[in-house]
Structure formats: structure tokens, C-alpha cells
Structure 1
Amino acid sequence: MPAIIVRDAAPADRSAWGGMWAANYTHHGATMGEAEVDELWRRVLHPDHPVCALVSAAADDRDLLGFAHYVLHPHTFSSRTVCYLEDLWVAPAARGTGVGRHLIEALVERGRARGWRRLYWHTEADNEPARRLYDRVAKLTDYVRYDVDLT
């Protein structure tokens, strides 16, 4: 695998990101209309919106290999910002090559540089490939998540 770069998403990434995003939400059993996808992309690119995205590419920066959507939010136990890694997706052909690790490491580096308090995320209990990575780069907590569907 050639060298991997991680950078902020850019307008020219829309098509490649869109294909990976569709694969991600389909994988999770979700559907999204084009207007919703367009709105997410608008938010990702807006510099003042709390929803952000990093993308990963080979060093030649031609083909996207993955993305990380993250949400910055305040925290009640600290005045420092907290970062929630909401989506991490690596193209199937690039899995196992370090793309996911590079995306997480880039968020860790960004958070340290910007004074964030914490980076956190959730995953499915049976997502063994992802959990092997997560066990190497983060600490598993005892928190249990509850959801109330408001639709």
C-alpha cells in the first residue's frame, strides 16, 4: 500500500465520498434520499458546522480510501470540546492497510492540537475487524448506550 494521506474533505471529493457514504449507510440498513445526502455534504463542508469529515487517500491524492465523520460538541464536565467519531468507513479494497488507523490518529492529533477533551465512538459488539483496530488505539469503556427512536 502506498503512503496514506489524511485531510479535510473538499468539494472535489463529493462523488467518491458519495459512493462510500452510500455503501456505509446501506451496510447499516439505512436509506437516505439525495436531498439528505446533499445536506450532509453541505454540513461537512461548512466551516462553522459541528459535523466535519476527514478523508483518506493514497499519497497521489487521486482515489479516496476512506472517511471519518465527526461531530464536535460541548461537554458538561469541562469547558473543552468533545469529539464524537460518528462514522468511520474504509473502502473494502483498502481494509487492513492502515487507512482506518490513520483516520483515527489524525483525529487524535487534531484533538490534541486544538485542546479537545476527548475523542469517543461506538461500534457494534460483533464488528470484530473494527474492534481489533479499536482495541489497539483506544480504551474500551463500560458504558452502555440506550436509544429512543423519535421518528
Structure 2
Amino acid sequence: MNDIIIRDIQPLDETEWRRLWDGYNAFYETSVASEITSRTWQRILDPGSSVMGRIAEIGANPVGFSVSVLHHGTWVAGPVCYLEDLFVDPACRGKGIGRKLIQDLVDRGREKSWSTLYWHTRDDNPARRLYDEFVEADEFVRYRLQF
């Protein structure tokens, strides 16, 4: 796990990030319109955006990523971080990459005085074994209206 580097996503990562992004969308059996993917990419790179992208590398090879959104909360003083997207290349799973990506956000949250880090996933996602090592799922149910 020591050879895994987590760092900010850089403009030169676009091709590999998009490859991983496509894998992420395939995992969730969905597709994101190319203009939305491009907009997400631009937000990740924009230092004024609330969207934050981190990439995991082994050697010089990107093998996973996290995309998070920092926002204000009504019940807390510090920023809230929503881990919206987390993905590890299937060929690289089982090496601690997902754990390191989450731990990276935990460490940043402590360093930057965030109040909360949260995420959600499908109830049948095998990665829940990893997520449960950080915190147990709570009792909330998600409702979602799309417009």
C-alpha cells in the first residue's frame, strides 16, 4: 500500500480519468452525457469550484479516483464533504487503493476542519465491506427527484 500515491487531479490526467470514469459508469450500469462529463472535468480543475478530484497512482499509472463536493451544512459550522464518486480499476482491486482514497479524505477533513464526510452506495455494493471499516451505515433512506 505504500507505493500508492494520492494527489490532486491535474489537467494531464484527463485521458486516464475519463477511462476510469467510463469504468465507474459501467459499474453502476449508467451513462453520463459527454457534455456533463466534460463539465465535471472542468469543475474538478477549477480551483474556485466546490468539486474536488483526487487520483490514486501506482508508479505513474492512475488506478483510481475520488470526486467530492464541499458544501455548507445547516447543522454544523465546518464544511461538509460529500464523496460523490469513488472508483478503482477492477484490475487493481484488493491492493488497498479504495481504502487509501477514503483515508485521504479523512485526513484532509481533519486537517481542514471539515465537520462531516459522507457518501452513499448501493446496498449490494461489495465495497461496503471496506466502507464499514470506516463507519457503519446509518439509518437514513435516500429520496431523489430528478428534473
Equivalent residue for 2:28?
28
Equivalent residue for 1:45?
45
Range 17-26 or range 101-110, more displaced: 17-26
Equivalent residue for 2:92?
94
Q: Does 1:121 align with 2:89?
A: no
Alpha-carbon RMSD across the aligned residues, in angstroms, is 1.3
What does the per-residue CA deviation read over 1:39-82, in whole Å, with 9 as the maximum and x for residues that have no partner? 11100010110111110001x3x110100010000000122100
Mark the runs of 5 or more structure 1 residues left unpaired by the alignment.
none
Mark the runs of 5 or more structure 2 residues left unpaired by the alignment.
none
Task: Look up the SS of the partner of 1:75 in the other structure.
Answer: coil
Equivalent residue for 1:16?
16
What does the per-residue CA deviation read over 1:123-150, in whole Å, with 9 as the maximum and x for residues that have no partner? 10011x2011001112321111111121
Equivalent residue for 1:135?
132
What does the per-residue CA deviation read over 1:100-139, in whole Å, with 9 as the maximum and x for residues that have no partner? 0000000000010000001000010011x20110011123
Q: Identity rate of aligned residues, in percent?
A: 41
Structure 1 residue ranges, 4+ long, deviating more than 6 angstroms after superposition: none
State TM-score, norm by structure 1.
Answer: 0.92
What does the per-residue CA deviation read over 1:8-38, in whole Å, with 9 as the maximum and x for residues that have no partner? 1011110000001011112223223332221
C-alpha change, 1:2 and 1:79, in structure 2 (3 Å) is: closer
- Counterpart of 1:76 (choices 74, 77, 85) is 74
